Amino acid sequence: MRLAVLVLLTLSALPAGATPRGKRAPRPAVASEAAVQFNTAGGAADFAPLGADSVVRPGSQCRPPRNPLTYHGGKLVTNPDVFLIFWGSQWNSDPEHLSAKADLLSFYQQVGSSGYACAWNEYGVPGQAYGTTTLDSMAPDIIASAPPNPLPDATIQQMIQDEIAAGRAPTRTDDMVYIVVPAKGVPVDIGGETGCGGSNFVFCGYHDSFGTFAAPFRYAVLPYPCNQNFYTCFVDANDTPGKALQSVGSHELVELVTDPDSPPVGNSGWYSNRDGQENADICTSYACSVDLPIGTTNSFWSNLSNGCIDSVPCTPAADCTDTTPGNCVAGLSGLSKCTFEWLVYPNLTHTTVGLPGRTVTCSDGQPFCDFDATADGACTFHIAACLNSQDPRVSCSAASITNVKLLRPLPTSTNATDSANATNLLTALSTADPGSIGTQSGAQVAYNPAATSANACTGFVDVVVPLRTVGTRTLRGVRTVLVTANTTTTPSRNLLTLFCTPPQ
């Protein structure tokens, strides 16, 4: 059974035989590590700052090669219900363990309402959209008896079933996630490969499932972090056990909900066909951790962003006055960049300077970004527009907008989809500025008086992008949306390119 093991950056050669196929090693603890700090969202300039309106990414030092994930048909854990099992008497009384336990509980209590959980929503598929993530209402289980040393994975699986039978752990469901955290100094053993404290130290955490296709048990194991033989499970030299457990715990949770099973329990979910890595594996290194308000998190791969991310806005407002880099796509030219801005939700792409990209992709039926939520041969994007944004990201001046002309698509198009898209956009633009009356004529909306209200935004508009069919093949579809906002001084153009790809 394939185990998803925490992947940490390898900076030098590991001992012979320490990296069996499908598993990655803890990272070496280098001599200069005292000067290496894990990344915080308020750190390097190329970090996206925190906020309900921004996509949070690690900095430029975390840029793994492109490694897209593919869906393999399996079940997902769409409404994770997390239950923690702490094994060992130290969790009841030892100050270090109590502090680490509090940190880990705090993370799982908050993650469900955070942008970290919203970020994995992109991996929903038709019929399996992600919902809420919760920490189970039952108090965490603390097993006072000492676990075996070493602690076999098979023993962990049996313990989970025993605790359920004894009423100390909640009953199995498809969404139940059991998180097992052994006490310090207890090496977890998987067929001779061990976590911290073992003689063959090759992992810092893993997730797996057991049982049957109809009744799978999903679980993750977080061995107590350590520095051992010049290798470490800590994020950096000044890390605490609690933060290390948060980082490993976030890594395993985001992988478990997107790829919970493997044969014989069930088909796999999302992983890379190139090398078998899961989303957090691709982005695992001390340079890819980000300190969010919910705790220290492991970045994970986003197909839509084509890179590592940590957080996305869950429910953004339709305005463009957010702090850098925000969500809105600035105009194409000079001082008029914020005369007309697009807002696409969700938009996880970004430019080299951290601004949202103007090319956005979704898959047909992908619940996260296809708002008809069905695999029907087209993607429905949500787009809004803002006039005269007071955008702090770009230097621009307020303008008197006399009219907005839609260059693509056109309402007179013979293509019914394009014509409907144009009509929807023009109708929304006609009422964008509350201080002006917008009159639509053909592909233009004229404002009288000129539109001058700051942050005059439309609501979200449906823009449909159909797939293409060539013979028996279904290919990605594309639509561009291009406007010119004419002012009493300088016109402003803004362009979006929207791709719809076939269902995963």
Q: What is the pLDDT of residues 303-340, one digit of tens each?
A: 999 999 999 888 876 677 765 556 788 888 766 788 99
Query: From start to end of 33-96, where are the E strands?
Result: 39-40, 70-71, 81-87
CATH number of 75-263: 3.40.390
Please work out, in degrees rounded to the nearest 5, the angle formed at the alpha carbon of residue 199 by the alpha carbons of 195 and 204.
15
Q: What is the pLDDT of residue 124?
A: 96
Which residues are CB-contacts of 52 (< 8 A; sequence separation ≥ 6)? 115, 313, 314, 316
Residues in the chain: 504
Note the pLDDT of residue 47. 31
**Minimal CA–CA distance to 69: which of 268, 247, 311?**
268
What pLDDT is stored for residue 180 in this prediction? 98
Q: Model's pTM, two decimal places?
A: 0.88
End-to-end CA distance of the chain: 24
pLDDT band for 269, please (50, 70, 90 cuts): very high
Residue 262 has pLDDT above 50, yes or no: yes
pLDDT of residue 44: 29
State what percent of residues in the chain have pLDDT above 90: 69
Q: Are 286 and 61 in contact (CB under 8 A)?
A: no
Q: CA–CA distance from 178 to each of 42, 80, 83, 118, 396 (Å)?
A: 33, 10, 5, 21, 52
Q: Which of 234-238, 285-289, 370-374 has the highest mean pLDDT?
A: 370-374
Report pLDDT for 26.
73
Cα–Cα distance, 413 to 425 (Å, whole number):
14
Residue scoring higher pLDDT (351 or 21)? 351
Work out the mean pLDDT of the chain and round it to a whole number: 87
Give percent of the chain with pLDDT exceeding 70: 87
The identity of residue 408, as a single letter, is R
Tokens 């993650």, located at residue: 111
Please tell me the distance from the alpha carbon of residue 473 to that of residue 36, in angstroms, as a whole number: 50
pLDDT, position 188: 95
Give the pLDDT band of residue 398 (cuts 50, 70, 90): confident
Does position 404 have pLDDT exceeding 50, yes or no? yes
Average pLDDT over residues 478-491: 94
- pLDDT attached to residue 317: 67
pLDDT digits (tens, 9 = 90+) for 33-84: 433 333 333 332 223 333 333 688 887 778 889 999 999 999 999 999 999 9
Each residue of 195-208: pLDDT tens digit?
A: 999 999 999 999 99
Least confident interval from 143-157, 235-249, 324-338: 324-338
Cβ of 325: how many Cβ atoms within 10 Å? 23
Tell whether omega for the bond before 126 is within 30 degrees of 0, i.e. cis. Answer: no
Side by side, which strands form the sheet with 477-487?
Answer: 359-363, 492-501, 477-487, 401-408, 444-451, 437-441
Q: Give Cβ neighbours of residue 154 (< 8 Å, ≥ 6 apart).
A: none
What pLDDT does residue 43 have?
32
The backbone torsions φ and ψ at residue 159, rounded to the nearest 5 degrees and listed phi first, read -60, -45
- Report the distance separating Cα 167 and Cα 159, nearest Å: 12
Sign of CA dihedral 119, 66, 259, 281: negative
Q: Which of 200-214, 325-339, 373-387, 459-473 has the lowest mean pLDDT?
A: 325-339
SS3 of 248, please?
Answer: helix
pLDDT in tens, 153-174: 999 999 999 999 999 999 999 9
pLDDT for position 50: 35
pLDDT at 33: 43
Out of 108-112, 333-337, 363-367, 441-445, pick the least confident: 333-337
Name residues whose C-beta falls within 8 Å of residue 153's C-beta, 6 or more positions apart in sequence: 188, 189, 190, 191, 208, 221
Which residue shows structure tokens 């001599």?
Answer: 31
Does 189 score more than 80 pLDDT? yes
Annotated domain spans of the chain: 75-263, 328-501
The pLDDT of residue 323: 58
| Residue with more model confidence, 225 or 33 | 225
pLDDT of residue 334: 62
Of residues 306, 474, 473, the one with CA closest to residue 378: 474
**Cα 480 to chain centroid, rounded:** 26
Q: For position 51, what pLDDT does the model report?
A: 33
Please state the rounded mean pLDDT for residues 429-452. Answer: 97
Closest CA to 247 of 305, 299, 194: 299
CB atoms within 10 A of CB 135: 21
Compute the distance between CA of residue 282 and CA of residue 455 in angstroms, rounded to an integer: 39
- State mean pLDDT over 429-453: 97
Position 316, amino acid? P
CB 343 within 8 A of CB 325: no
